[in-house]
Every structure is written in C-alpha cells, then in structure tokens.
Amino acid sequence: MPDNATCADLFDQSPDAVIFAGPDGLILEWNRAAERIFGHTRAEALGRSLDVIIPEEFREAHWRGYDRALAAGETKYSGQVLPTRAVRSDGVDIYVELTFAIIHDSRGEVIGALAHARDISERWAKEREQRRELRRLKDQLGLPS
C-alpha cells in the first residue's frame, strides 16, 4: 500500500482533473489538472461550490442528481463516461468527459462525491463539424437526415 505522500503525488499528478466535494457540494480536493482544465487554482477552488464549473442552466438538474446519488450511496453513472459542458474560470464553456463515484468512509458512511474530468473540447468541435458536413451532404443528395 502506498504511503500518504505517494497517494498525494498520484492525486496531484493525475493527467485528468480530480475533484472531490463533500455532501454539501463544496470542493474539498482539486488537483493540478483541474487547475489547468478549469482555470481555478486549488486555493481558489477549495471551499467553493461545484457551481464554479457547472453552467448555470445545468445547476438545478445537477443538484437534484447529486443529492439523489448521495442519499442512495451510489450513482447510476458508475462505470460510465459522460460528455457534458462545463465552464472555466474565464466564463468560457468547454466540453469535458466526466466519471463519478460516491465515496464512503471506513464505516460505510457517504462522505462525498469524486469526479474525474478530461477536456474534450477540441474533439467535440471536430465531431460537431463532421456531423454538420454529413447533414449537408445528405441534404445535397436528398437523403434523410
């Protein structure tokens, strides 16, 4: 089993953003990749609501799902990668792939939610352009979209 220093290094040097929030939705952990992807330093993010990365129009649905998952002690998205929109510190929308886990302490009590995030903005833009081009070609050929 790695020691605490090694665990901290693994967390901080992960290539993906690693974000841990407590039951109240306040950020308790934020690694260097989260800083790079979302633009908030660790010091700026810690203690703030997850709303700092959730676009306003998604917040209501996010908090319903967050509360439901914490109450159930698991997420229905376990093992899945979900593409979604997020917002950076400069207000620019980005696309990320997220994975989630509900975290339990040694007694089995829920202590929060863990998310890993990867910026897929470039890939999302390329795929969107490919979808537009495919629709354009289908329209030219008179094929159903």
pLDDT by residue (tens digit) across 14-43? Answer: 999 999 999 999 999 999 999 999 999 999
pLDDT by residue (tens digit) across 37-49? Answer: 999 999 999 999 9
Those residues with Cβ within 8 angstroms of residue 33's Cβ, 6 or more apart along the chain or in another chain: 14, 15, 16, 17, 18, 117
pLDDT reported for residue 121: 85
pLDDT reported for residue 137: 78
Contact 52, 35 (CB under 8 A): no
The two structure tokens encoding residue 10: 């693994």
pLDDT reported for residue 140: 81
Sheet holding 82-87, edge to edge: 27-30, 17-21, 110-119, 93-104, 82-87
pLDDT reported for residue 68: 96
pLDDT tier for residue 11 given thresholds of 50, 70 and 90: confident
Options 3.40.50.10860, 3.30.450.20, 3.40.50.620, 3.40.190.10; CATH for 4-120 is 3.30.450.20
What DSSP string runs through 40-81?
A: --HHHHTTSBGGGTS-GGGHHHHHHHHHHHHHHTS-TTTT--
Average pLDDT for 48-76:
96
pLDDT by residue (tens digit) across 67-111? Answer: 999 999 999 888 899 999 999 999 999 999 999 999 999 999 999
